[in-house]
């Protein structure tokens, strides 16, 4: 009984402190109130631009240019040579000769 009474008193006192501290925490200067109101009413996606130091004209590396040219050749060789060779190696008796195991 006493325990329950103490719990109720504690809840009431805690709620009182919470509601009493609310106006104290809300005290702001007029400048702070104006800034807070501006932040609340601002557009959610304001036009903020961050300068980008990246310059694509200076970023072209010669190896990248070669990779752009050679990538289709590598894909073609994969389809024409490697995949058929893998298919052959998967078949018996080549599976045993090459020691191929499914993973």
Q: Are 89 and 100 in contact (CB under 8 A)?
A: yes
10-residue mean pLDDT series, the chain (103 residues): 76 68 63 81 69 76 88 96 94 92 84
End-to-end Cα separation, the chain, in angstroms: 69
Which residue in 89, 87, 91, 90 sits closest to 79, CA to CA? 87
Tokens of 9: 């008193």
The count of C-alpha atoms lying within 13 angstroms of the C-alpha of 1, restricted to the half-sphere facing its C-beta, is 0
Domain ranges of the chain: 1-40, 61-103
């Amino acid at each position: 009984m006493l325990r329950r009474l103490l719990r109720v008193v504690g809840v009431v006192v805690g709620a009182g402190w919470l509601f009493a501290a609310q106006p104290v925490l809300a005290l702001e200067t007029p400048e702070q109130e104006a800034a807070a109101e501006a932040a609340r009413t601002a557009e959610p996606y304001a036009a903020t631009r961050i300068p980008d130091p990246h310059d694509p004209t200076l970023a072209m590396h010669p190896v990248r240019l070669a990779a752009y040219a050679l990538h289709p050749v590598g894909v073609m060789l994969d389809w024409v040579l490697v995949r058929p060779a893998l298919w052959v190696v998967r078949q018996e008796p080549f599976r045993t000769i090459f020691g191929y195991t499914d993973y």
